[in-house]
């Protein structure tokens, strides 16, 4: 298990997944790529200027989170962070293929998670379509 892809959205569940990814990387001397996907905005009532401002704010927030993650994972030999825009499960799966991830680690539900007994929609789609192992952290 040399390449770990961690999907992180700033949620408590994602922080638990980060902790697990760091633990696994430490045991197996693995590299970690952390991806944060700023979701597409489909709200038609937004003007282009408002949409751009919201996306800019979301990107800034995601980049701040990535800096904190790098600080928390200092003991890991190789950690890379990526912030991208798009459909979260599609972008996560695309990155997994690109880096040839051995495993994708993610939280069970994100910032907008439903009940604690339901698997989040992003996690479900990753499980359904991943070509590598997937670890969902509660």
The CATH number assigned to the domain holding 91 equals: 3.40.50.620
pLDDT of residue 117: 41
Which residues, in sequence order, are bridge partners of residue 105?
6, 135
Report how far apart the first and last C-alpha atoms of the chain are (Å, whole number).
21
Separation CA 18–CA 6 (nearest Å): 7
pLDDT of residue 73: 86
pLDDT of residue 65: 95
pLDDT of residue 120: 67
Residue located via tokens 């379509």: 129
pLDDT of residue 113: 45
Q: Hey, what are 111's tokens?
A: 């910032």
pLDDT of residue 116: 42
Contacts with 26 (C-beta within 8 Å, 6 or more apart), sequence order: 75, 76
Express each pLDDT in 20-49 by its tens digit. Answer: 999 999 999 999 999 999 998 776 677 889
pLDDT of residue 110: 59
pLDDT under 70: residue ranges of the chain: 43-44, 109-120
Range of the domain at 42: 3-137
Number of domains composing the chain: 1
pTM of this structure: 0.89
Q: Hey, what are 130's tokens?
A: 């991943």
């Amino acid at each position: 298990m040399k390449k770990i892809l961690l999907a992180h959205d700033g949620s408590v569940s994602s922080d638990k997944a980060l902790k697990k990814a760091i633990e696994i990387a430490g045991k197996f001397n693995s590299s970690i790529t952390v991806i944060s996907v700023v979701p597409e905005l489909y709200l038609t009532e937004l003007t282009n200027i408002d949409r751009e401002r919201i996306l800019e704010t979301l990107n800034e927030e995601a980049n701040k989170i990535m800096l904190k993650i790098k600080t928390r994972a200092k003991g890991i030999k190789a950690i890379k962070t990526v912030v991208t825009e798009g459909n979260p499960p599609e972008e996560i799966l695309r990155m997994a293929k690109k880096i040839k991830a051995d495993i994708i680690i993610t939280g069970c539900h994100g910032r907008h998670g439903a009940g604690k007994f339901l698997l989040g929609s992003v996690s479900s789609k990753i499980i359904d379509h991943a070509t590598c192992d997937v670890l969902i952290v509660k």
